[in-house]
Amino acid sequence: MTLKQTLSQAGEILAASNIEGPLLESELLLRHALKIDRIQLYLALAQELTPDQHEDFWRLVQRRLNHEPSAYITGHREFYGLDFYVNSDVLIPRPESELLVEKTLELGRNEAMGTIAEIGTGSGAIAISLALNLSETKIYATDISAPALKVALFNCRKHGVENIHLLEGDMLDPLPEPVDLIVANLPYVRESELARVNTLDFEPSIALNGGSDGLEKIRKLGAGLSTKLCPGGSLLLEIGQGQSEAVTSLLSGLFPTAKTAVFPDLGGIDRVVSLTLS
């Protein structure tokens, strides 16, 4: 069977199992199995798969049919135009989280930020994306999970960033000093909705479970902000759909004189809440 025929057959099988983007998924898995890039793949469409290549590829397809995310199968995920290593110790970076990076860089263009902290860094994708654009800024990246921090360290070395300080511990606790900006993509899925998360069997639940109302971790972060943000400092927080009113009300209650704002993602969903201390 040629590569072209293999791609077509795999795409049909994945589509029949309601895998989103089946042709793209089959291409991604085939490139990974053959260890080639997209150009090499399309130059070789008429070639036949060897028996070993055939076996390797269909083993990957079976994993995808079992709903294992392709990012875990290949060990790669693109975020903010960069390639990151991921495994099941970390949440797979989502495109909507790129808004946190964009809003942080906007702040960086308008005012000096000597220190930033990302809380719950996971793979390090957000912190590293910031570090590559803000090379003069000291960035702390915290996570309660030691295995997650190993992934973040691998990605820091992969991208050659030296201005990130990885810290193990819960939420704000590891920060050694107040910072100018705190960035956080905390767990915000309600416990009752976890079963609807397609990747729940593979992604770490600690990175998804936001408690009964989805705001448990956000509430905890807010309670500690006063000692971890510099005067005039800011918070950028990713939230789930339908949570903007509750989160802004929570933050305004904690900091009545602070300024809050809400920013939608490309889908028009309120995705990032900002808080700036007066």
Using CB atoms within 10 Å of the CB of residue 154, give its burial: 0 to 12 exposed, 13 to 18 middle, 19+ buried: middle
What is the C-alpha separation between 172 and 153, in angstroms, rounded?
Answer: 19
Q: Pairing state of beta strands 229-238 and 270-276?
A: antiparallel
Q: What is the pLDDT of residue 262?
A: 97
CB 211 within 8 A of CB 190: yes
Q: What angle do CA 123, 120, 221 make, to 5 degrees?
A: 165
Q: What is the pLDDT of residue 77?
A: 95
Q: What share of the chain is helix, strand, coil (3-state, %, to 5)?
A: 45, 20, 35
Residue 219 tokens read as 């509430």
Q: Give the position of tokens 């790129």.
A: 98
CB 95 within 8 A of CB 89: no
Q: What is the pLDDT of residue 200?
A: 61
CB 133 within 8 A of CB 103: no
pLDDT, averaged per 10 consecutive residues of the chain (278 residues), comes to 95 95 96 95 95 96 95 96 96 95 91 92 98 95 97 98 97 97 91 69 82 89 95 95 95 96 95 95
Inter-CA distances, 81 with 51, 112, 229, 251, 276, Å: 35, 25, 30, 32, 28
Q: What is the pLDDT of residue 51?
A: 94
Residue 214's identity, in one-letter code, is: G
CB 150 within 8 A of CB 200: no
Using CB atoms within 10 Å of the CB of residue 178, give its burial: 0 to 12 exposed, 13 to 18 middle, 19+ buried: middle
- SS3 state at 208: coil
